[in-house]
Amino acid sequence: MSDTIVEGWELVVGLEVHTELATETKIFCSCPNRFGDEPNTNVCPVCLGLPGSLPVLNRQVVELAIRLGEAVHCDVRPSIFHRKNYFYPDMPKDYQVSQYDQPINVGGHLELPSGYRVGITRAHLEEDTGKSTHLGGDAGGRIHGSEYSLVDYNRAGVPLLEIVSEPDIRTVEQARDYVGELRAILVATGVSDAKMEEGSMRVDANVSVRRTGDTAFGTRCEIKNLNSVRSLGRAIEYEARRQIDLLEAGERVRQETRHWDEGDGRTHTLRTKEDADDYRYFPEPDLVPLAPTDQWLASARASLPALPAQRRAILAEASDRGVADPGVVSAVDRGLDQLAMEAIVAGGDPARVLVHIEHNLSGDGATVRPVRLAALTRMEVEGKLTATQAKAVLADVLAAGGDADPVAIAAAKGFEAMDTGALETAVDAAIAADPVAWDKFLGGDDKVAGAFVGPVMKATKGKADGKAVNALLRARRDATR
């Protein structure tokens, strides 16, 4: 897809990701941090905000926040909590405990598979709200048109990390990649299971546009209710076009929050309240400041597994490719880079290893032993197997449990490389058999080559190498010019 939504305009996107932390208990109390239980059974005086209750911070919440901060190269700082005051029935205290101007993580970055770097402004801790369901009327579960609502506080007090990116994203693809990469990091570090469809990762997009070449930012709108990476992409595209249309018509973009409607494929103004929210932030008096020691930071840093960007770099170097190479990206994305590395170390051909991983192995390709994969690729580069033959051998290796000898399997299947003379005979026979197609091919229609490849394969019982057949066809054609 082209980088620009509309010629002459530039897209500017910042993403705010809220992710539920993978702890046993809630952020300020010992209720289980668990999804799917009977309503209002995982509650206590603290997370219900009963009169007289007080919060106590969960150590593991801090550990995970530090881990994420270290993973995205943030400055992990002393921090305090603030109260964000507003009324809403799913808020037990009618204020949310969050972090305001002294958050735990500040100033990091995240590297996309393409190598493009997106800045991270901050990542801070806060508590989640309860969940309300809307009933009655004809609203079908949506708030507008409903008659009443029911509130479940099981989710109230679940720990959240809000990760805010710089407005560095310029394409829909970058937006998708950012979410994908962030998710991979959250999962790899054990910070969150980050499932958008289940709500343990929620993404809001801040979208604005400006004329190409402008340095000032345009007015932005916040888009909410994005339930999948696909919705994210569609919503950004729609919103960008909406804003461009307004601006081209000489109108202004109004700064507001908009709701993405998956059904009609548009963003809509959320019904605005009479008064803008004034959250009256002030430091939370019931909690004391957080000042993680250098030791804690160092130990969190040391506990980090190799992260996707790092793994791509390592595999890229070992296979002599770029970090954005599709084979490299695919291997890391699907957790098969370890296999790739070991196969390469065992003497496998890096290029062929990556091709097999990208195209011929699914997630359970981990069951193939690296030495076997390495041996297979060696046969290919030594000319003993064609690509097509190697694919078939690999499938058999997998079927046999992953530890079978590819040499033996190839022999059993009767695979051996074709000698050039036999190949030329088969190709010439195929040409002779279809003069109409040959004419077209001579005329420059390359697509018709398939008419010959098929018969050649048949005649050679699959031993021919498709690439070699095509090369011969072209050589014959060139010879006639």
Partner 1 sequence: MPDRISAGDAAHVAVLARLALTADELERYTGQLAGVLEHFADIDALDLDGVEPMTQPYPLTNVLREDVVGDCLDRDEVLAQAPAAEAGRFRVPVILGDEG
Partner 2 sequence: MSAVDIAAAVRSGQRSAIDVVEEHLARIAERDGELHAFNLVLADDARAAAAVVDDQVAAGEDPGPLAGVPIALKDNLCTRGIPTTCSSRILEGWRPPYTATVVDRVVAAGAVVVGKTNLDEFAMGSSTENSAFGPTRNPHDPTRVPGGSSGGSAAAVAAGFSPLALGSDTGGSIRQPAALCGVVGMKPTYGAVSRYGLVAFASSLDQIGPLAETVTDAATLYDVIAGYDPLDSTSIPGPLRAVLPSLGEGVDGLRIGIVTEMRPGIDPDVLARVDAAADALTAAGAKVDEVSVPAVVYGLTAYYLIAPAEASSNLARYDGVRYGLRVDAPDTARMNAATRAAGFGDEVKRRIMLGTYALSAGYYDAYYGKALKVRRLIAADFERAYTQFDLLLAPTTPSVAFLLGAKVDDPFAMYMNDVCTIPSPLAGHPAISVPFGTGAEGLPVGVQLLAPPLEEARMFRGARVLEEAVR
Closer residue to partner 2, CB minimum distance, 40 or 228: 40
Asked whether position 289 contacts partner 2 by CB under 8 A, the answer is no
Closer residue to partner 2, CB minimum distance, 92 or 406: 92
Asked whether position 101 contacts partner 1 by CB under 8 A, the answer is no
Rounded to 5 degrees, φ, ψ at 273 are -80, 165
Query: Residue 12: how many CB atoms within 10 A of its CB?
Result: 18
Asked whether position 97 contacts partner 1 by CB under 8 A, the answer is no
Best CA proximity match to 61, nearest among 21, 103, 19: 21
Q: Which residues pair with 227 in a beta bridge?
A: none
Gap between the Cα atoms of 417 and 352, Å rounded: 17
Asked whether position 280 contacts partner 2 by CB under 8 A, the answer is yes
DSSP-derived pairing of the beta strands 221-226 and 201-211: antiparallel
Asked whether position 129 contacts partner 1 by CB under 8 A, the answer is yes
Residue from 3, 8, 59, 251 in contact with partner 1 (CB under 8 A): 59
Gap between the Cα atoms of 360 and 395, Å rounded: 8
Q: Which of residues 62-91 bind partner 1 (CB under 8 A)?
A: 62, 80, 86-91
Residue from 10, 18, 19, 58 in contact with partner 1 (CB under 8 A): 58
Stretch that binds partner 1, among 21-29, 166-174, 371-379, 439-447 (CB under 8 A): 21-29
Binds 93: which of partner 1, partner 2, none (CB < 5-8 Å by kind): partner 2
CB of 312 to partner 1, least distance (A): 32
Gap between the Cα atoms of 99 and 451, Å rounded: 67
b/e burial code for range 286-320 (CB count within 10 A of at least 16 → b): ebeebebeeeebeebeeebeebbbebbbbbbebbe
Asked whether position 413 contacts partner 1 by CB under 8 A, the answer is no
Asked whether position 54 contacts partner 1 by CB under 8 A, the answer is no
Residue from 3, 8, 40, 245 in contact with partner 1 (CB under 8 A): 40
Binds 150: which of partner 2, partner 1, none (CB < 5-8 Å by kind): partner 1
Closer residue to partner 1, CB minimum distance, 57 or 355: 57
Helix (H) or strand (E) holding 152: strand 148-152
Q: Which of residues 130-169 bind partner 2 (CB under 8 A)?
A: 149, 151
Query: Residue 462: how many CB atoms within 10 A of its CB?
Result: 15
Q: Which of residues 53-72 bind partner 2 (CB under 8 A)?
A: 53-57
Q: Which residue has the tokens 């590297």?
A: 111
C-alpha distances in angstroms, 108 versus 125, 303, 421, 454? 16, 18, 61, 55
Query: Residue 126: how many CB atoms within 10 A of its CB?
Result: 20
Structure-token pair, residue 345: 């170390």
Asked whether position 29 contacts partner 1 by CB under 8 A, the answer is yes
- Using CB under 8 A as the criterion, what x/- string covers residues 132-171 for binding partner 1? xxx--------x--xxxxxxxx------------------
The answer to whether 71 touches 307, Cβ cutoff 8 Å, is: yes
CB of 117 to partner 2, least distance (A): 35
Stretch that binds partner 2, among 72-80, 284-292, 322-330, 339-347 (CB under 8 A): 284-292
Contacts of 362 (CB under 8 A, 6+ apart): none
Binds 54: which of partner 2, partner 1, none (CB < 5-8 Å by kind): partner 2
Residue from 6, 44, 247, 442 in contact with partner 1 (CB under 8 A): 44
The packing angle between helices 172-188 and 308-319, to 10°, is 100
Stretch that binds partner 1, among 33-41, 104-112, 327-335, 387-395 (CB under 8 A): 33-41
The answer to whether 476 touches 431, Cβ cutoff 8 Å, is: yes
Alpha helix stretches (DSSP H) within 413-465: 420-433, 435-442, 450-459
Binds 58: which of partner 2, partner 1, none (CB < 5-8 Å by kind): partner 1
Binds 347: which of partner 1, partner 2, none (CB < 5-8 Å by kind): none
CB of 282 to partner 1, least distance (A): 8
Asked whether position 48 contacts partner 2 by CB under 8 A, the answer is yes
The answer to whether 178 touches 112, Cβ cutoff 8 Å, is: yes
Binds 52: which of partner 2, partner 1, none (CB < 5-8 Å by kind): partner 2
Q: What is the DSSP letter of 447?
A: G
Asked whether position 255 contacts partner 1 by CB under 8 A, the answer is no
* Total residue count of the chain as it appears in this document: 481
Asked whether position 93 contacts partner 2 by CB under 8 A, the answer is yes
Gap between the Cα atoms of 194 and 445, Å rounded: 50
Helix (H) or strand (E) holding 389: helix 387-399
By the 10 Å C-beta count (0-12 exposed, 13-18 middle, 19+ buried), 119 is classed as middle
Asked whether position 94 contacts partner 2 by CB under 8 A, the answer is yes
CB of 101 to partner 2, least distance (A): 12
Chain-centre distance for alpha carbon 443: 45
User: Which residues in this chain contact partner 1 in the complex, by CB under 8 A?
Assistant: 23-25, 29-32, 38-45, 48, 56-62, 80, 86-91, 129, 132-134, 143, 146-153, 224, 257, 259, 270-275, 278, 280, 282-283, 285, 287-292
Question: Which positions touch partner 2 (CB under 8 A)?
Answer: 45, 48-57, 83, 85, 87, 89, 92-95, 149, 151, 278, 280, 282, 285-288
